[in-house]
Structure 1
């Protein structure tokens, strides 16, 4: 068995982990007149309703453009196919909107892999542990029986807050250059390493 092959369920972040939509968050903040270095959703919630609605329209435009050009990160399809053959349930937890997420998954033909997809409209979003806890409730699993796989600090914080193991996927970047690497349970710089962490040892990528 590989390091995490004993776990019953796998929860993925979407953008930056399975999918590359090329979103330029600095450009998005600039167009919306938001501060640099602070997540967009956390800034939007503090705004008056009319102003927030206008900026959400800008956000939606950027996200849908990203969904239109999104591509699978190299190796994601092989990993999802292997895990599906193994039969462990998989879920997505994303801070993206439901329309953006549905469009992305449909375009790329990977939506059928996931038992549950939780987007930002569904409840408290990462780093809140709610989504992980809700998935465990639906799967009838304990939180330490699942793993959260993501590319960003908020993914790792949500896992830490829920009490489940996490995998930081860096897509080739040195781990020391990725914020939150110090709190990840495991680190994978490429999909072959992620495969080795998650998939049965007898399988080969």
Structure 2
């Protein structure tokens, strides 16, 4: 029997549902070095102050970018993702919370990872079946913090108002995507300073996934 819920929750994946071991510092360094080697950015660029997605977009917007170079970059990123996702474990109470949410919400994953890496990790941890759709970088025109992925998901339910949606993630880039996509954001173990610095105002800060249920209930009540 098909579900006809009119509310949706969008989950980030890494360090929100799964305890990721992706080496994002190494990913950023690899992207930066590739861009330097190909004259896209100067070696003086302070790459440590950028997210991986921001470094990727710097390259993609460069006039020096070629399809071959972009593919080289994605191959390097995907290799680091796969290595970091192998053997990933769930955040505490993830299954318990998803089990309760699925009876009232349509659930989505929104990740900057490749679809194949995300699908493999979600299957390995046994939670893939909880989600109506996995939305990965292949479905986005621009990675988070862009709202591209939020727009993609919201367009799947064009009759649903913005108020029907909530996003949950650990990083300011998740919050920025949610904000620009006009949906509410709950920060899971998020860095409050990073959030404020980037103009992100979560509906709530939570430390345990079970708190999602409390926050959503409070929102329903008023």
What TM-score do the two structures reach when normalised by structure 1? Answer: 0.82
Tell me how far 1:30 sits from its aligned partner.
2.6
The worse-fitting range, judged by mean Cα deviation, of 31-40 and 145-154 is 31-40
Q: Secondary structure at the match of 2:101?
A: helix
What is the aligned length?
A: 190
Structure 1 gap ranges (5+): 1-6, 201-205
Structure 2 gap ranges (5+): 1-5, 36-46
More RCO (CA 8 Å, sep 6+): 1
Instruction: Tell me what 1:151 maps to.
Output: 170
Instruction: Tell me what 2:38 maps to.
Output: none
1:101 to 118, 129, 153: 118
CA distance in 1, matches of 2:97, 2:82: 26
Tell me how far 1:162 sits from its aligned partner.
1.5
Q: 1:132 to 1:44 in 2, by over 3 A?
A: closer
1:30 aligned onto 2:29: yes
CA distance in 2, matches of 1:157, 1:165: 10
User: Which 4+ residue blocks in structure 1 deviate beyond 6 angstroms?
Assistant: none
Q: 1:54 to 1:130 in 2, by over 3 A?
A: closer
1:141 aligned onto 2:153: no
CA distance in 2, matches of 1:138, 1:57: 29
8 Å contact kept, 1:83–1:199? no
Instruction: Tell me what 1:180 maps to.
Output: 195
2:211 to 193, 199, 202: 193
CA RMSD of superposed structures (Å) = 2.3
CA distance in 1, matches of 2:25, 2:202: 25
CA distance in 1, matches of 2:171, 2:16: 9
Q: 1:108 to 1:186 in 2, by over 3 A?
A: same
Tell me how far 1:199 sits from its aligned partner.
5.7
- Per-residue CA deviation, residues 62-111 of structure 1 (Å, 9 max, x unaligned), is 11112212111111111001112x23111111111111111111111111
